[in-house]
Structure 1
Amino acid sequence: MELSIKGLPDTVPEIIAQNCRELFKTAVGDLLVLGQLQEVNITISTSKFEEKSIFTPPILEEKVASKDKENSKPVPNKPSPSKNRITDEITLEERATQYKARPPLYSFDFLSLPEELKETLLSSIDSIRLDHKIFYEWNLRAIEPNPRTALNFFGPPGTGKTLAAHALAQYLGVPILTASYGQIESKYHGEGPKNVEALFFAAQRDKAVLFIDEADSLLSKRLTEVTQASEQAINAIRGQLMISLELYQGVVIFATNLIKSYDQAFETRVRYIHFPMPDEKSRREIWMKHLPKELPLGQDVSIEELARIEDVCGRDIKNAVIDAAIRTARHNRVFVGQQDLINAVERIKAARVSAIESE
């Protein structure tokens, strides 16, 4: 028996095409079981290519596998039962299984940011919460079929970009799906764009905030003079990212450092929010939130004095507290003193300077 689908438009997004194929497979499986047929030849074609596969119902596959176990002697040249799928290539759903959403780790109460930045974040959240009213009740979907919120948190490392992404997801009451550029790129040609598509598919599947960390390479200008395969690969990934953003319905947050040149196409699709190094007021709040009441502090510890230490970010403060606590415990001292914390901060700042100079 043979079945075919012809003329599937090339312009149909892969997510929609994949859903069509899955529905087709389910219907064919029911047909084979009810008709007591052993297999069917399937052809799916577009104007550019044609895919063929032999489809075997799951019930028959189980019988064949059971019968194979009973026969101890192998049968020469016996064909193995075909898999229950259209092609041997990994499907979008299968590729998306590598990406899973998780509950957010931080709330807005834990954020210590300048007031203006807090207001900007809250404004972004309000626009997300009003999506249903604006796009569905007021039918602005007529002019924007795929409503989405795309944000780029940019600024120096350790300034709260990741915390803010988690806090935003927690405020919205949804999970967060986190990925980095390193989890998207691939040494195999053509895999990077497919990973981008699968990542957005997974976020839509899990109804999650999508957070893409270390996204500098993704949002930079596309290369006009491509001379190497690696350059071609990054251009292909950026192109797929553009397509996925257009089709995505949800919240996506990028985190970048101070990259020099954003791609103009992203500038019109993404809202940019700057995360500066914390001021003294923010540093005071960060120190207070990173010194839990269970931590034995000496009476000489002064948060006011610690907050006056400049050129430190939230991550530096967190690491300084942990470093000071470890050294105190290792030397069997009773309290973490002021000088322990100051020394820890200075070590972290010195290490950062050394790393920059070595570059």
Structure 2
Amino acid sequence: MNQATDTTFATDNQANGLMDNYLISGLDYLQHYVRGRLKMHFTGAEPTPITLGLPNELDGSAFARFVRHARPSTAETILLLSALAPHIVSGFFDGIIHEFLTQGGEFPEFGGVKGQNHRGTLPTGETVMFLLAGSDAKARLALLPLFSEDSFLFREKILSLEAMRNGEPALSGRLLLDAEFAEVFTTGKVGLPQLSMNFPAEHISTQMEWDDLVLPEGVWQQIRELESWVKHHDTLMRGWGMGRKLKPGYRVLFYGPPGTGKTLTSTLLGKYTGREVFRIDLSMVISKYIGETEKNLATLFDKAEHKNWILFFDEADAIFGKRTGVRDAHDKYANQEVSYLLQRIEMHSGLTILASNFKSNMDDAFIRRFNSIVYFPPPRQEERLLLLQKAFPPEISMEENVDLRGIAASYELTGSHIMNVVQYVCLAALEKGVYTVSNNDIIRGVKRELEKEGK
């Protein structure tokens, strides 16, 4: 990257109104820093000292907010900017190196690798070590903690080093910037992950409201306690210092028959507390191959860390079920999976909801560690009546003979049963073009729904 390129880069950003963006200043700072180190390496001339101050308080960009909060050292700033630069300017390092190696050639001291599709130099740990310490062995040894868990950039999983084969130096690994941090630093926001083999969870939401949920008062009280924890968690754990005394996160078991509101309650909790809710797809988590289940779960929990997401494990007893006596190798590894789950859930800092039809199916070790256990009973007669009254759209009118109270008294329906009945009745009305329904229409839908379950 020559001086002309630098000028073009600045002009383009000025035209786009980005000159106050701290990330632009950071990239300019890194350019000068890299150029100064290379000048010193090839000519022995001392570089002109430059500094990068803290961002202006008026700069609301994501990278500026991060730096104001984290207050990285100079070495950490160089490390982070080096990882971020190729995400913004392709060939960021190559252009500067070409200024000093005009004929090309090998430059092993600088480190760096080529990507599968990206043709520019991608920095390795060796790249940053060279920028910070050159060939000074003493200085290099002093900088090694920068790449360990002692550095908050690695501890918080913002950066990592690509694993190397046995025998190769660890710093030869490519410097990896977490994809979400790369996205938020460059665009100011991060998209929600999509269900995939790399992320076995589906984002769920609802257009329904708390008023649509019909539950006994005792259950409502427990739900309000969960809502209170989500709202006041940060104040409790950080502001009041209880993080030193309490385990991170909150673990709750929802149990009860299907269709009683467990999933809807989870999505409404997310909706009214401003948290995203992800339902874990257990079919994509559980693997018959030894160690793969733990790996899938590790990927999930690592992704969810510090996101304030609500994790919802539906039919959780499929993986959180009771451990068995060890009769063979399969039992041994199955029990290890449950033990691993127990550890990861206890360390997760967010709200984790496990849903099951039966509390008795859950492993006792999990039961002891739940902060709350909420039973969702089948709706009683008055609750069934209320669900029926709320369920029909205003476009549907009822004949005089409709007896919703009688239907609620005669049939033991859950919330999901009732919604299926209402859908059937509404579709039949739309098909006929007559939007008035009779008692027989509703009973026909009820019987059809119960017959599916052999009742």
Normalised by the length of structure 2, the TM-score is 0.57
User: CA 1:239 to 1:299, structure 2 compared with 1: closer, same or farther past 3 Å?
Assistant: same
Q: What letter is aligned with 1:202?
A: K
Q: Is the 8 A contact 2:261 2:376 kept in 1?
A: yes
1:56 counterpart residue number: 113
Q: Distance in 1 between matches of 2:117 and 2:352?
A: 43
Which structure has the larger Rg over C-alpha atoms?
2
SS at match of 1:265: helix
Which residue in 2 is equivalent to 1:288?
A: 389
Alpha-carbon distance in 2 for matches of 1:101, 1:207: 13
Name the SS for the 2:447 alignment partner: helix
**1:120 has 2:177 as partner:** no
SS state of the match for residue 427, structure 2?
A: helix
Q: Distance in 2 between matches of 1:220 and 1:32?
A: 52
2:420 is aligned to 319
Q: 1:156 maps to what in 2?
A: 257
Given that residues 395 and 435 in structure 2 are in contact (C-alpha distance below 8 angstroms), is that contact kept between their aligned partners in structure 1?
A: no
Amino acid at match of 1:242: L
1:155-304 maps to which residues of 2 (within 5 A)? 155-204=256-305, 206-227=307-328, 229=330, 231-232=331-332, 234-270=334-370, 271-304=372-405
Report if the CA contact (8 A) 1:200-1:248 is conserved.
yes
Q: Which one is further off, 328-337 or 127-136? A: 328-337
Query: Secondary structure of 1:308's match?
Result: helix
Contact 1:96–1:202 (CA under 8 A) maintained in structure 2: no
Residues 24 and 150 of structure 1, relative CA distance in 2, 3 Å threshold: farther
**CA–CA separation in structure 2 for the residues paired with 1:206 and 1:216:** 25
Deviation larger for 121-130 or 244-253: 121-130
1:237 aligned partner, one-letter code: E
Q: Count the aligned residue pairs.
A: 300
Residue deviations 1:237-265, cap 9 Å, x none? 32221121122111111110115343222
Is the contact made by 1:38 and 1:57 (CA closer than 8 Å) also made in structure 2?
A: no
Answering whether residue 445 of structure 2 is matched by residue 344 of structure 1, we say yes
For 1:14-93, list aligned pairs within 5 A. Answer: 26=83, 56-57=113-114, 61-62=118-119, 86-87=162-163
Moved more, 162-171 or 131-140: 131-140
Equivalence for 2:245: 143
Distance in 2 separating the partners of 1:302 and 1:232: 57
- Conserved 8 A contact 2:306-2:349: no
| Normalised TM-score (structure 1) | 0.71
Task: Work out whether residues 402 and 439 of structure 2, in 8 Å CA contact, stay in contact via their aligned partners in 1.
Answer: yes
- Secondary structure of residue in 2 paired with 1:183: helix
Provide the C-alpha distance between the structure 1 equivalents of 2:438 and 2:317, rounded to a whole number of angstroms. 39
Distance in structure 2 (CA, Å) of the matches to 1:343 and 1:60: 60
Change (3 A) 1:125 1:119: same
For 1:303-314, list aligned pairs within 5 A: 303-314=404-415
Contact 1:106–1:170 (CA under 8 A) maintained in structure 2? no
Deviations for 1:254-296, whole angstroms, at most 9, x for unmatched residues?
Answer: 1101153432221222121100000122112211221110234
Listed one character per residue, the Cα deviations across residues 204-239 of structure 1 (whole Å, up to 9, x for unaligned) are 36432111111012222222224364x455434322
Structure 1 unmatched runs, 5+: 1-21, 42-53, 65-83, 355-359
SS of the aligned residue for 2:398 comes to coil
Instruction: Tell me if structure 1 keeps the 8 A contact 2:204–2:267.
Output: no
- 3-state SS of 1:293 partner: coil
Q: 1:31 to 1:236 in 2, by over 3 A?
A: farther
Counterpart CA distance in 1 for 2:333 and 2:346 is 20
2:254 is paired with a residue whose SS is strand
In structure 2, the gaps of 5 or more residues are: 1-78, 99-104, 122-159, 166-175, 180-195
Separation of aligned partners in 1, 2:326 and 2:92: 52
Task: Give the drift of 1:40.
Answer: 6.7
Partner Cα separation in structure 2 for residue 183 and residue 205 of structure 1: 23
Q: 1:122 to 1:35 in 2, by over 3 A?
A: same
Percent identity between the two aligned chains: 23
State the structure with bigger RCO (CA 8 A, min sep 6), 1 or 2.
1
Q: Could you tell me which amino acid in structure 2 is paired with residue 141 of structure 1? A: G
Residues 277-286 or 55-64, more deviating: 55-64
- Using the TM superposition, give the Cα deviation of residue 302 of structure 1 relative to its aligned residue in structure 2, in angstroms: 2.8
